[in-house]
């Protein structure tokens, strides 16, 4: 299905899964609204989409944790960009892997404010337009972490369990409106996620994906695009996408090379 001229908003599009989603949607003919905090990373993504796909792209700096900034950004979109057809709630992160009683308060707040409150802020800002038009699609990037709780992941897992609950609740809130809600929940995906989680510690970040074959950001983007391109009467409600090497949060098949 061609998404010709559909407007897709991807949050957290400056890297990883969000950037890959932007590529997938641009390749399918969509117009892209892209946001993230790091404009210096976002603008080159937008330029690449324009040159590779001839895509129409409107990038803007946004911290999804700031409810006022979210409302202002969505409320002041130029007329030709304000009818958002598809929202991909992707911006998110883990910080640290400590037990709750040893975790930094700022880490807990950053995860909850980004993964839960940020997703709610953007969704609340975008939904009124979708409701007026009687169509739209909200695609939330959850995680296996929301279904498989693991040691040191108490708060990150809780935020992703919240994304799961929000996705299920939203379907009920929007019952009969024609607006679709999907959750795409990946397992291990090699992106900058672990580098961010471990504050730039490359060795610890690399250990997460060592000696196994993780998902790529493009694998996840393909599933997101699949959800978005079903016929209007079909809602892909939940996608649980894991590497073949991963059977649970703790069961990861590794083949040490030495």
- Which residues of this protein are in contact with ligand NDP, per CB under 6 A? 11-18, 36-38, 41, 62-65, 90-93, 114, 118, 141, 143, 186, 188-189, 191-193, 196, 217
Strands 31-36 and 238-241: unpaired
**Bridge partners, residue 165, by sequence:** none
Per CB under 6 A, the list member of 145, 162, 225, 242 interacting with ligand 8X3 is 145
| Residue 12 site contact among ligand NDP, ligand 8X3, none (CB < 5 to 8 Å, cut-off depends on kind) | ligand NDP
In the DSSP assignment, the letter for residue 33 is: E
Catalytic residue flag (residue 53)? no
Closer residue to ligand NDP, CB minimum distance, 3 or 139: 139
CB of 103 to ligand NDP, least distance (A): 17
CB of 170 to ligand NDP, least distance (A): 16
In the DSSP assignment, the letter for residue 15 is: S
Residue 216 has phi, psi (to 5 degrees) of -100, 160
| Residue 17 site contact among ligand 8X3, ligand NDP, none (CB < 5 to 8 Å, cut-off depends on kind) | ligand NDP
Distance (Å, rounded) from C-alpha 49 to C-alpha 26?
7
User: Within 13 Å, how many C-alpha atoms sit on residue 247's CB side?
Assistant: 3
Q: Cα dihedral sign for 20, 24, 26, 27?
A: positive
| Residue 114 site contact among ligand 8X3, ligand NDP, none (CB < 5 to 8 Å, cut-off depends on kind) | ligand NDP
* 3 state SS of 137: strand
Residues binding ligand 8X3 (CB under 6 A)? 143-145, 153, 188, 249
């Amino acid at each position: 299905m061609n998404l010709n001229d559909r407007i897709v908003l991807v949050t957290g599009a400056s890297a990883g899964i969000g950037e890959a989603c932007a590529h997938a949607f641009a390749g399918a003919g969509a117009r892209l609204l892209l946001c993230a905090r790091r404009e210096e990373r976002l603008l080159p993504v937008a330029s690449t989409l324009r040159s590779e796909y001839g895509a129409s792209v409107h990038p803007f700096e946004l911290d999804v944790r700031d409810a006022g900034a979210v409302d202002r950004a969505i409320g002041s979109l130029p007329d030709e960009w304000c009818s958002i057809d598809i929202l991909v709630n992707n911006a998110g992160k883990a910080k640290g892997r400590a037990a709750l009683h040893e975790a930094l308060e700022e880490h807990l707040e950053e995860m909850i404010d980004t993964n839960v409150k940020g997703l709610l802020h953007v969704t609340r800002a975008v939904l009124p337009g979708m409701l007026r038009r009687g169509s739209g699609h909200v695609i939330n990037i959850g995680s296996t972490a929301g279904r498989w709780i693991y040691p040191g992941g108490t708060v990150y897992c809780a935020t992703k369990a919240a994304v799961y609950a929000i996705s299920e609740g939203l379907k009920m809130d929007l019952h009969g409106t024609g607006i679709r809600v999907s959750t795409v929940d990946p397992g291990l995906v090699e992106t900058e996620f672990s580098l961010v989680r471990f504050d730039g510690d490359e060795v610890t970040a690399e250990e997460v994906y060592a000696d196994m074959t993780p998902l790529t950001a493009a694998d996840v983007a393909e599933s997101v695009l699949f959800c978005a391109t079903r016929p209007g009467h079909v809602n892909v409600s939940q996608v649980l996408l894991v590497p073949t090497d991963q059977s649970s949060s703790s069961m990861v098949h590794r083949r040490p090379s030495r």
